[in-house]
Structure 1
Amino acid sequence: MAREKIKIKKIDNKTSRQVTFSKRRRGLLKKAQELTVLCDADVALIIFSATGKLFEFASPSMQEMLGKYKHHSNNNLQDDVNEPCLDLQLVEDDEVRLPKEISEKDREMRQLQGHDLQGLTIDELENLESLLHGGLSRVLQTKDEKFGNEISYLQEKGAKLMEENKLLKQQMMMISNGKQLQTMPVEVDDLMNTHEEAGQSSESVTTNMYSCNSGPPTEDDGSDTSLKLGLPFN
């Protein structure tokens, strides 16, 4: 049967707490001793009970272990003090290194622009030429892509404008046809018959038609015939 796992929390009962302390203390001291023997480790263990009673174990001795601990603590403190100095040294190194890198990059930029080429070897010149050719090809490719995109955009815009123009023409024709239907001219014969029934002469009808049409029709030069409305004279 498996043992019930004890929940780790403070034991409220004082007697049970003291019994548990005694058992666990003996087990802890035994484990420390076993660790020293099995692993050849230097172990120091200090325990104070709830009543202030001291229990300790040390191998090889508590005084020697405390001396080692103090020496180790002082070394760690010294390392902590030296760390800012190391950071300061790194900053100083960066201050020396960065101007050199900036100067080198500036020189490379001037060489790409065609300056300061006298001190370069043939291999360095060939490398520079290769860099320039590669950069030029990328520039031309990017420029062609930009031109292509611009042309495509303008073509699409032109097609949309032509379509809009076509729609506007169709709308204008529809509006014009609608006005013509509303202002159809009256037939001449119907107009004459109407006035004759009303007792008007053909001359008055002709006069009225001239006045409606802003004057008589113009006769062409050299023409022997003309259109006359009304009855012939005897």
Structure 2
Amino acid sequence: MARGKIQMRRIENPVHRQVTFCKRRAGLLKKAKELSVLCDAEIGLFIFSAHGKLYELATKGYVRTAQHPKGKQINTEAKEEISMLKHEIEILQKGLRYIAGGGSADPMTSVELNVLEKYLEIWIYHVRSAKVRTYNCMHI
């Protein structure tokens, strides 16, 4: 029995939407891991739920280098970088909650707002670059 085509639109029922999110998130993470193993690809994946919760996957890079296979102690530099990256993720999560909800009980500091601004500028640059590439491909 073949599955029917699913219409791509927002699921209105919040319970069904949450169940679908959980199932598809798990499937996406599984596919990313499979792609990494099959193609020896480095995969980094961030998923933000509607509530601002972060789900992440890193097949190589910072997460893997921090977990030495023989259980040896990782060096101080790597620990500091991991700590810095976790702090950046927390700031970005807080910023997304701030943007999505129009504010939060815990206001953002000027440093956090500056970090968020930097990332927003980077994301805008990438969006505009993709837009230009798409436009150029269509008119060649």
Task: Give the TM bin, normalised by the shorter chain.
Answer: 0.3 to 0.5
Which has more radius of gyration?
1
TM-score norm. by structure 2 comes to 0.43
* Structure richer in helix, relative to its length: 1
